[in-house]
Chains A and B, each alone.
Chain A
């Protein structure tokens, strides 16, 4: 459906370098990255609001770069939603039909279906200023779909909402996407949002495409240290590969088994996610393929659903450990307690250094 090849764009002093990605029909693809990584610039290039874009942008086989915005068949929900404040909800929703001179008999069935699905039927006569945050999001989503777009661009539309409303709207977008077979490009800096909504993820950092892959692959195997750090991975240790499934890491006590051979060879970073570090007691027998480290818990934070611990190994290495609150209570750990952690070989992986 969407094919981007070698896209380069300049916005002020910021540059987007040779982006290439594919979004299949009916797929939700997330552009994930920190602020200033180029996500919105890429969206602006797709929208056609950015001059000097080079490379190929094809949507359903049609080259976009030569088309004016109104003929690109895009649905767009910006971060501030872009609702027209001088129009009622109804007038916002039928703006597209009016602009394209579509008779009411033609646009009515789709509009009725969308308002039913999103539960905004009772809001139609209301001015935009009287809507709540969640209602505005729904209206903006529906409006973006009223022109039957080939591709829907969502530019961090849920950022300003509280957690429960955000999750509610994630479900709504998911339902809409499945019901309407929408192809969606979602810009977000929130990993959970990307995981909830997207099938595939492209990670952008400093205008460069660091990784494009299925969401599970991005989570399990970040392609670079930059991606790993952006995804919140703190446990990174310098190491050297010894063979296909072994590394030498002084910080973690020497030779360690790693289940998968990473792409990186020689000098590497050895990584493990905080949630994959297992809590152990000194009495627990070692499991096959697991590296056991003794040490002391420097900090223990109960976050409600989960707990975060800082572990200082006897080797001097500091690890971040994340576990469920119930697990924490089971072990009865407090800051300063001696203890042990296990590093399962399946969860250790290497990154190029």
Chain B
């Protein structure tokens, strides 16, 4: 006996998902005030938060991809000791709450090695580097997982053929594997970037919430809500939602193109 719902019930369920999220976003309109929206959007503090969030998310995503691309390729193509453990640990940022993740980073910088790094290499806590690090740690697992899926979709056989044609492994990677995984890579960049942009818990723990210094967009939303500034909060949420939905739209277009390629 099938346990799957009939087509009508499943379509209703799908539309209920849409209604839930769309309803939540539309409900913001209740507190939408044109004057407050425009004042908040163009205030120096909000613009700083937007710029800080965009810059930190872009740097964190770029750094994450720098490590994730070779790591994902190794997980997709090679067998090595520790492979299974590596694949398992990719879920770590998902099972540990972002706040706990941030706390772990903060505690690390209070041990001798962490202190040495802060004193001699780069100072992370309560600064831009801390925001980037918190976002980097949060999105790295997701980036590796998405990129591995992109590499898995490229048949190994094409790499073998390229090598029989005289290409060394590095050339094969740059002329065959990477171009064929291109759409997956771009989609991974956009989605991990959007996740970094919305990161809150870990960032708050590592970088704090200093206005005009470490106040990213999600932290600014939290601060405004703490001060019972609902209209201002709604304005900032709309900015975050706008950026996030645009990123999702672009990622979906790219993934759809890759599926039809």
Could you tell me which A residues sit within 8 Å of B by CB distance? 47, 49, 68-70, 72, 74-76, 78, 80, 82, 84-86, 95-96, 99-100, 143-144, 146-147, 149
How many Å lie between the Cα of A69 and that of B157 in the bound state?
A: 13
Structural contact, A95 and B180, CB atoms closer than 8 A: no
0 or 1 for each of B158-202: is its CB under 8 Å from A? (1 = yes) = 101111111110010001100110000000000000000000000
Please tell me if the beta carbons of B162 and A95 are within 8 angstroms of each other in the complex.
yes
Of the residues A72, A78, A100, contact of B157 by C-beta under 8 Å: A78
Chain A residue at smallest Cβ distance from B168: A70
B35 interface residue per 8 A CB criterion: no
CA distance A302 to B160 in the complex (A): 45
CB-based contact B165/A143 at 8 Å? yes
Q: A146 vs B162: C-alpha distance in the bound complex, in angstroms?
A: 12
B79 and chain A: residue at smallest CB distance: A51
A47: chain B residues within 8 A (beta carbon): 160, 164
Report whether A70 and B157 are in contact in the complex, using a CB–CB cutoff of 8 Å: no
A–B complex contacts, Cβ < 8 Å, 10 sampled: A70-B166, A78-B157, A80-B157, A82-B157, A82-B161, A84-B180, A96-B165, A99-B171, A144-B164, A147-B165
User: How many angstroms between the C-alpha atoms of A171 and B168 in the bound complex?
Assistant: 33
Partner of A99, one of B160, B166, B261: B166
Task: Decide: B160 and A78 in contact? CB cutoff 8 A.
Answer: yes
Distance of B77 from chain A, by nearest CB (Å): 11
Q: Closest CB of chain B to A60's CB: distance in Å?
A: 16
Contact check, A96 vs B160: say whether CB atoms are below 8 A apart.
no
Contact yes or no, B165 A95, CB < 8 A: yes
Chain B residues lying within 8 Å of A95, measured Cβ to Cβ, are 162, 165, 167, 175
Per a CB cutoff under 8 Å, which of B155, B165, B168 touches A80? B155
A68 to B168, CA, bound (A): 9
| Contact string against A for B residues 129-171, beta-carbon threshold 8 Å, 1 for contact and 0 otherwise | 0000000000000000000000000011110111111111001
A78–B165 Cα distance when bound, in Å, is: 13
Number of interface residues of B (CB under 8 A): 19
Given contacts A49-B160, A69-B160, A78-B157, contact A85 B180 (CB under 8 A): yes
Distance, CA A146 to CA B166, complexed state (A): 10
Q: How many A-B residue pairs have CB under 8 A?
A: 62
Asked whether, in the complex, the Cβ of B166 is within 8 Å of the Cβ of A74, the reply is no
Question: When the two chains form their complex, are residues B261 and A69 in contact, meaning their CB atoms are under 8 A apart?
Answer: no
B158 x A72 contact (CB < 8 A)? no
Q: What are the residues of chain B within 8 A of A49 when measuring CB–CB?
A: 156, 160
By CB atoms of chain A within 10 A, which of B158, B164, B180 has the most? B164
Cβ contact of B164, chosen from A76, A80, A86, cutoff 8 A: A76
Complex Cα distance A95/B156, Å? 17
Q: SS class of chain A's interface: helix, strand, loop or mixed?
A: loop
B-side interface mostly: helix
Bound-state Cα–Cα, A208 to B149, Å: 36
Whether B180 lies near A86 (C-beta < 8 A) is yes
Chain B contacts of A147 at CB under 8 A?
164-166
Cα–Cα distance between A242 and B43 once the two chains are bound (Å): 107
Question: Separation in Å of the B232 CB from the closest CB of chain A?
Answer: 48
A-B pairs with lowest CB-CB distance, top 7: A82-B161, A96-B165, A99-B167, A69-B163, A76-B164, A100-B166, A99-B166
- Structural contact, A75 and B164, CB atoms closer than 8 A: yes
Asked if A82 and B160 make an inter-chain contact with CB atoms under 8 angstroms apart, the answer reads: yes
Residues of A within 8 Å of B161, CB to CB, are: 76, 78, 82, 84
User: Inside 8 A of A68's CB, which chain B residues have their CB?
Assistant: 163, 168
| B261 contacts across to A, CB distance below 8 A | 85
CB distance from B76 to the nearest CB of A (A): 15
Residues of A within 8 A of B162 (CB): 84, 95, 99
User: From B165, which residue of chain A is reached at the shortest CB distance?
Assistant: A96
CB-defined contacts of B176 to chain A, threshold 8 Å: 84
How distant is the Cα of A96 from the Cα of B261 in the complex, in angstroms?
Answer: 24
- Find the A residue at minimum CB distance from B161: A82
B73 to chain A, nearest CB (A): 16
Cα A292 to Cα B5 in complex, Å, equals: 67
- In the bound complex, residues from chain B placing their C-beta under 8 Å from that of A84 are 158, 161-162, 176, 180
Interface contacts beyond A76-B160, A76-B164, A84-B161: sample of 10 additional A-B pairs, CB < 8 Å, sorted by A? A49-B160, A68-B163, A69-B163, A70-B165, A70-B166, A72-B164, A80-B157, A86-B179, A99-B166, A100-B166
Per the bound structure, the CA–CA distance linking A317 and B155 in Å amounts to: 51
* A74→B171 contact, CB < 8 A: no
What's the Cα separation between A96 and B176 when bound, in Å? 13
**Shortest CB–CB separation between residue B151 and chain A, in angstroms?**
15
Q: Closest approach, in angstroms, between the C-beta of B72 and any C-beta of chain A?
A: 19
Contacts of B171 in A (CB 8 A): 99
When distances are taken between beta carbons in the complex, the residues of chain A under 8 Å from B157 are 78, 80, 82
A295 to B162, CA, bound (A): 60
A69/B180 in contact, CB under 8 A:
no
A107 to B82, CA, bound (A): 45
